[in-house]
Amino acid sequence: MSNYSIQSQKLSKLFGRRLIFKDINFLLEEKALFGISGPNGSGKSTLVKIIAGLVASSDGKIIHKNSAGEIIPEKLHNHIGFVSPYIVLYEEFSAWENLKIFAKIRGISLNEERVNNYLVRFLLDERKHDLVKTYSSGMKQRLKFIFALMHSPEVLLFDEPTSNLDEEGKTVVYDIIEEEGKIRIVIIASNEAKDLELCDEVLLLEKFKG
């Protein structure tokens, strides 16, 4: 992987007059397993969205860099793989068609060998041509991981990664997280103890309330 880093500089967020978090600082370089935790409503998803360039901060900033220099927010999607409850799938298409659509949106060729390997690993291979609307919530969650991994991004952002997963699904996800954390930056936003146990460092949002 390229020399990738994410730096948070005095990052703060308000919704109206309500302070979500204040003065968050961290530096992640090349490879890391970094956790974000806090009570429901503490701002975990908001912070993840700011890191991904989907939401603006109220103050401070997030800086993404690789060997070519700083990455502008409009280009972040090329460098990030994202799993979250609020990612929308195309329910009227099959999993395979969804993967082709997402590859086209990203402007990349679908690496069929890579994607098929993930479909097998996430126990979706036999259902890849079924419409996504026939999938259980756990199957949809596993499909989101393939979307996140299919383009070999430098950063993986997982917001509540094991939600809706049974124990078999969680085992696959934990194996993926441990593997990916050895070669790239992985950020996990969660309150699940097992999710956070995988992390080298955990940021507790209740410490950044002003």
User: Residue 167 is part of a domain; what is its CATH number?
Assistant: 3.40.50.300
Question: pTM of whole model > 0.85?
Answer: yes
Has residue 117 been placed in a domain? yes
Has residue 63 been placed in a domain? no
Q: Which residues constitute the domain of residue 38?
A: 30-58+71-204
Has residue 65 been placed in a domain? no
**What is the DSSP secondary-structure string of 142-155?**
HHHHHHHHTT--SE
Residue 145: which of 167, 191, 114, 108 has the closest Cα?
114
Helix, strand, coil: what percent of the chain each, to 5?
35, 30, 35
Q: How many domains does the chain have?
A: 1
Residue 160 CB partners (closer than 8 Å, separation 6+)? 84, 85, 189, 190, 192
pLDDT of residue 57: 96
Instruction: Render each residue's pLDDT in the chain as its tens digit; 210 residues.
Output: 468 999 999 999 999 999 999 999 999 998 999 999 998 889 999 999 999 999 999 999 999 999 999 999 888 989 999 999 889 999 999 999 999 999 998 888 899 999 999 999 999 999 999 999 999 999 999 999 999 999 999 999 999 999 999 999 999 999 999 999 999 999 999 999 999 999 999 999 999 986
Has residue 37 been placed in a domain? yes
pLDDT of residue 155: 97
Has residue 126 been placed in a domain? yes
For the beta carbon of residue 39, count every other beta carbon within 10 angstroms: 11
pLDDT of residue 2: 63
Has residue 23 been placed in a domain? no
Has residue 41 been placed in a domain? yes
Has residue 5 been placed in a domain? no
